[in-house]
Structure 1
Amino acid sequence: MVRFKNRWLLVEFLPCPAAGSLHPPRFSEEQTTSKAIWAALKQSVITHFGDTGWGAVGSSLTVKYFSPKTNLCIIRVARDPHKIAWASVTLMTTVDSRKYVPHVVHVSGTIKQAQLAAIRHNREVVARYRARAKTPTGYQDSYEEFLQKSTEEIGSLQD
């Protein structure tokens, strides 16, 4: 028996600043959901690759994880048409009428490698925030709790 082979895309959605604003938007009560990302991705595939592209990608496309706090997303797609999904993600401009710049951080063949890349990416982002704030190495802040919680959440994903 042959198993179904997948590719896992780890995508970070970077929010764009509003027109006339120089600062990126803060997190609000109304957050983007994984359903909204799936719908925007479907629309992007149909727009850029037509019904043929959606036919190739649609049956296997799933958003397995999305964190509104970090805007990090794990997307599963079949191995053969994964480049269509990858191109469609990079061509997306809006999700739920909010502007984002999608950044594909990692592509892997297993969910475990996508999880490890997501945890590593979260640690790098927190390290950048700490470097900007110029906090000492031993300083305890809310980021430790966030890293612990996100690591458990990402680690609990199942294929």
Structure 2
Amino acid sequence: MVHFKNRYMVMEVFIDAGRGESDPVILTQFNVTKVIRDSIQLNFGECDLAASLGSLQVKYVNPVTKLCIIRVSREDHQKVWTAITMVRSIGKIPVSFNLLDVSGSIRACRRAALECDKAKFEQYKLAAVDCITPEIILSVQS
């Protein structure tokens, strides 16, 4: 029996809403998966897209802190990473991805994502002291 090896990537999404349309994009698993698939097909072709689709999955997306965790096979993780760095927009909104961590287990990636989420939330609380509602605090903590 062969154990299937994965890589998990923690990515940060920078959205430049000022240069795009007036309606900003909301990050979802569907949006992120679609732009990654389109980038793989555009840059590597349909054969490599079909090879990497078996393991490609967006496991976690936080639309508030703009973090996502992406699972991909160990053999294809550099190709997918390259395709993600070539993504320039979601819809008509310019975006860029920043890789924060690559790991072989979801636990280590979750730990890195939680640390980054906590740091971003602390910065958010300091920047917008009066604008934070209890709903936002609950959504981030959950």
Task: Check conservation: 1:62, 1:76, Cα contact below 8 A.
Answer: yes
Are 2:49 and 1:33 equivalent residues in the alignment? no
Once superposed, which parts of structure 1, at least 4 consecutive aligned residues long, lie more than 2 Å away? 17-20, 126-133, 148-152
1:74 correspondence with 2:80: no
Deviations 1:68-95 (Å, cap 9, x if unpaired)?
1111111110011100111111110111
Q: Does 1:47 align with 2:42?
A: yes
Alpha-carbon contact 2:12-2:99 (below 8 Å) kept: yes
Structure-2 residue corresponding to 1:97: 92
Q: Choose between structure 1 and 2 for higher RCO, CA contacts under 8 A separated by at least 6 residues.
A: 2
User: d(CA) in 1 for partners of 2:133 and 2:18?
Assistant: 28
| Bigger radius of gyration | 1
Gaps of at least 5 residues in structure 1 are: 136-140, 153-159
Unaligned runs of 5+ in 2: none
- Pair 151,129 (structure 1): closer, same or farther in 2 beyond 3 Å: closer
Alignment RMSD, CA only? 2.6
Q: CA deviation at 1:151?
A: 5.3
TM-score scaled to structure 2, two decimals? 0.82
* Number of residue equivalences: 138
TM-score (norm 1): 0.74
Tell me the amino acid that sits aligned with residue 71 of structure 2. R
Q: Deviations over 1:139-159 (max 9, x none)?
A: xx769x73x75454xxxxxxx
> What letter corresponds to residue 7 of structure 2 in structure 1?
R
